[in-house]
Amino acid sequence: MLFPALPPHPIPLCVAALTIVTASTDITCRRIPNPILALSLIVSLLVQVWLHGLVLGAGSWLAGAMTGFALLIPLYLARGTSAGDVKLLLTIGAWVGPTMVVYIVLATFLIGGVWSMAFVVFRRRTTQLLTNLQCLTMGGWRMGRGMEPGKRIASVGSLPYGVAIAAGTLGVLFASAA
């Protein structure tokens, strides 16, 4: 089996609804609202406890949430994504557990990477991207140290990454159902 087993119902339906709603708000408002994530975290804890019992349910909820958080926080610290995206993956992890959230993150990185590269090429910002990568690898993200004169980090644009997270999540859920 290539993908982990689909979580028990109603988890796939709840996660699909969560990702569609948050991707929609990320597209329209460029943010993922905290009240949606907080409500979803509470409901996911209740559902996990209902399905698996107090200890196993709470443990799975916590392990999934921390795995989702741990896998995306480095990208946030490198200013590659927003806090809302980290909190969304934390919430998705609370729903699906640690194993499936790893697959979701991998699918999200693949989708988000291809989308980002297409975005950079389409907007003709490849030179700035390469300059940014050079500055980052030389430590230039730390207050200008290690940067050559004339080179600077400038955004090549931003994408509503909640859409990539939703696509990765729905893709893994569908692949697990097959």
pLDDT (tens digit, 9 = 90+) per residue, 3-54?
787 788 899 999 999 999 999 999 999 999 999 999 999 999 999 999 999 9
- What's the CA dihedral at 107, 108, 109, 112 to 10 degrees? 130
- Rounded to whole angstroms, the Cα distance separating 36 from 22 reads 8
> Does the residue 41 lie in any domain?
yes
The pLDDT, as a whole number, for residue 143 is: 44
> Does the residue 62 lie in any domain?
yes
- Rounded to whole angstroms, the Cα distance separating 106 from 49 reads 27
> Does the residue 98 lie in any domain?
yes
Locus of tokens 């699906």: 96
The pLDDT, as a whole number, for residue 151 is: 54
DSSP-H helix ranges across 1-53: 11-29, 34-52
> Does the residue 47 lie in any domain?
yes
> Does the residue 127 lie in any domain?
no
Burial of 33 (0-12, 13-18, 19+ CB in 10 A): middle
User: Model's pTM, two decimal places?
Assistant: 0.84
Q: Percent of the chain scored above 90 by pLDDT?
A: 61
As for how many domains the chain has, the answer is: 1
- Ramachandran area for residue 165 (φ above 0: left; ψ -120 to 50: alpha; else beta): alpha
Q: What is the domain range of residue 28? A: 11-113+160-177
> Does the residue 75 lie in any domain?
yes
> Does the residue 101 lie in any domain?
yes
Confidence of residue 79 (pLDDT cuts 50, 70, 90): confident
The pLDDT, as a whole number, for residue 153 is: 66
The pLDDT, as a whole number, for residue 127 is: 80
> Does the residue 150 lie in any domain?
no
The pLDDT, as a whole number, for residue 80 is: 78
